[in-house]
Amino acid sequence: MTKFADSLQEISISKRSLLSIGLDPDPDKMPISDVFEFCKLIIDHTEVFTAAYKPNMGFFEAFGLEGLKSLEKVIDHIKSNYPDVLIIGDAKRGDIAPTSSKYAYAMFEIWDFDAVTVNAFSGFDSIEPFLKYTDRGVFVWCKSSNPDAYQLQDLVIKGTADRKIFQVIAEYCVSWNNEGNLGLVVGATYPEELKIVRDIVGELPILVPGIGSQSGDLEASVRAGLGRKNHGLLVSSSRGIIYASSDLNNFGPAAANASSILREDINNILEDVGRSFI
C-alpha cells in the first residue's frame, strides 16, 4: 500500500468514516460573513465525523486575496488542531507540464494539501508533476457530476469495444499510477458509471462528490464505489452539511448533525454489505 492510500485507510478506520466535507464558502449562503470564522465553526463542529475536508479553490478565489488568506488560516487551523484529517485541495488543475509543475508546487508546497483534484484532459505529462509528490494523493477527474458531463465524457471511442472516454480515463489512471498515489473523482450522480470505474481501477481510491445537493444516490454510490480490500472511498458532501442551517446560532450544530447522519447512513450501508469498520 502507498503512503496516501495508507493514510486514507487509517483515517477512515480511526474515524469510522468515509465522509469528506466540502468547504464551499459562499457569501450568499453563509450565516456569518467572515470566511475563516465560518469554516472554523463548521470544522470544529464536524471534525469528529469526517475523514477529510475538501476546500474548493474556486469558492475561496472568488473572495480575492482575502479569501486565500482565509484558506491559509483554515488549513492551519485543521493541521494545528486535527492533524490526522485529510485536506483535499479541490482545484481541478491541469496544464502542460511546465505549468502543471507550478500548480503542483502551489498545491503541495504552498498550500500543503494532502491531496488535490486534477484534470487529465492533456494526458499523462500534464498530471505527472502532481504525481511526483509521491506522499500526496492525486485524484483525476474521471466522470463529473453535472448534467452536461455526457457531452465529452460519454463519447464512445472507436476500436475499443465501445468504451466511453471516462472509461478510457479510468484505464489510463491504472497505467499512470506509477507512484501508487493516484485516485479518481466520479460524481455520485452517476452510480452505474461509478461501478464501471471501480471495476476498471481495482483498489485505487475514489472520491465521490455530489451527495446531497446534487441528488446523488448514496446507497448506490457506496455499493458501487467500495474497493474490494480497502474501503478506498470518500463520499463528499458540501452544501448539504455546511448550509444545513442558515441560523446564525445554529449552523454549527446543524452541520454536526448533518455530517453525523451522513456518516451513519454510509456506515449502515457498509454494515449491510459486510464491510463495517472493525
Contact set with its own copies (CB under 8 A): 24, 26, 56, 58-59, 61-62, 64-65, 68-69, 72, 90, 92-103, 105-106, 110, 119-126, 141, 144-153, 155-159, 162, 165, 168-169, 172, 214
Strand partners, 170: none
CA distance 66 to 36: 10
CA distance 19 to 258: 11
- Nearer to its own copies by C-beta: 9 or 70? 70
Q: And the C-alpha cell for 230?
A: 480497502
Smallest distance from the beta carbon of 230 to its own copies, in angstroms?
A: 27
230 class by beta-carbon count within 10 Å (0-12 exposed, 13-18 middle, 19+ buried): middle
3-state secondary structure of 259: helix
- Nearer to its own copies by C-beta: 159 or 274? 159
- Which one from 15, 40, 92, 143 is the annotated catalytic residue? 92
Q: And the C-alpha cell for 6?
A: 495508507
175 class by beta-carbon count within 10 Å (0-12 exposed, 13-18 middle, 19+ buried): exposed
Smallest distance from the beta carbon of 72 to its own copies, in angstroms?
A: 7
Smallest distance from the beta carbon of 163 to its own copies, in angstroms?
A: 10
- Nearer to its own copies by C-beta: 66 or 247? 66
Smallest distance from the beta carbon of 143 to its own copies, in angstroms?
A: 9
- Nearer to its own copies by C-beta: 161 or 278? 161
Instruction: Give the angle 161-121-211 at the CA atoms, nearest 5°.
Output: 85
- Nearer to its own copies by C-beta: 9 or 238? 238
CA distance 4 to 263: 22
Task: Give CA separation, 160 vs 96, 110, 168, 246, in Å.
Answer: 27, 41, 9, 49
- One-letter amino acid for residue 45 of the chain: H
Strand partners, 138: 116, 182
- Nearer to its own copies by C-beta: 18 or 169? 169
Residue whose cell numbers read 455546511 = 242
Task: Give CA separation, 258 vs 65, 81, 173, 223, 267, in Å.
Answer: 31, 22, 33, 21, 14
Residue whose cell numbers read 500543503 = 112
The verdict on whether 195 is a catalytic residue reads no
Active-site residues: which are they? Answer: 92
